């Protein structure tokens, strides 16, 4: 069905990233590729001083390993770890790499999402390709 699928991966417990990966496998054409993407949010300057000095480096290594391990379980999958604001960065990555579908896991929205919005909402509203949301 799709030649290139982007699956943004969040390691939050309330997101069904495994379900999103499983859906991407079903939606991918034979020979289709899957890109797994994790966005590391920037830590505010006022908070960084409270973290151990090597926290960011070690956290990135752990995320890169976990994402690479997940990609290794899929045929023709790649793992990408980048920094930025999650919603905007996913959309920018999609604009540059041209997936024809995004499969994104979402939490069940609450009142705070009516005021602030969520990453999945931002991707659904602004992506230039098909978006499947997993709950």
pLDDT tens digits for range 32-58: 999 999 999 989 888 888 999 899 999
Q: What pLDDT does residue 15 have?
A: 75
Using CB atoms within 10 Å of the CB of residue 98, give its burial: 0 to 12 exposed, 13 to 18 middle, 19+ buried: exposed
Domain count, the chain: 1
Transcribe 75-129 into DSSP letters: TTEEEEEEES-HHHHHHHHHHHH--SEEEEE-PPP-HHHHHH--HHHHHHHH-SS
Which pLDDT does position 117 carry in this prediction? 57
State phi, psi for 67 to the nearest 5 degrees: -70, -40
For 110, the domain range is 2-130
The whole-model pTM stands at 0.91
- With respect to residue 46, please indicate whether it lies within any of the assigned structural domains: yes
Question: How many C-beta atoms lie closer than 10 Å to residue 85's C-beta?
Answer: 14
Do the domain assignments include residue 135?
A: no
CATH number of the domain at 120, please: 3.40.50.620
pLDDT tens per residue, range 89-117: 999 999 999 999 999 998 766 655 554 45
Q: What average pLDDT does range 56-69 have in this prediction?
A: 96
* Mean pLDDT within 8-15: 85
């Amino acid at each position: 069905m799709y030649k290139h699928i982007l699956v943004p991966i969040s390691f939050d417990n309330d997101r069904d990233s495994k379900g999103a990966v499983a859906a991407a496998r079903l939606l991918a054409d034979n020979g289709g590729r899957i890109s797994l993407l994790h966005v590391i949010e920037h830590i505010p300057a006022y908070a960084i001083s409270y973290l151990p000095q090597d926290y960011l480096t070690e956290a990135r290594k752990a995320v890169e390993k976990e994402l690479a391990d997940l990609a290794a379980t899929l045929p023709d999958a790649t793992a990408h770890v980048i920094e930025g604001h999650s919603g905007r960065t996913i959309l920018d990555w999609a604009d540059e790499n041209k997936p024809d579908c995004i499969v994104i896991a979402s939490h069940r929205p609450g009142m705070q999402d009516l005021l602030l919005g969520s990453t999945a909402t931002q991707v659904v509203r602004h992506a230039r390709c098909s978006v499947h949301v997993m709950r």
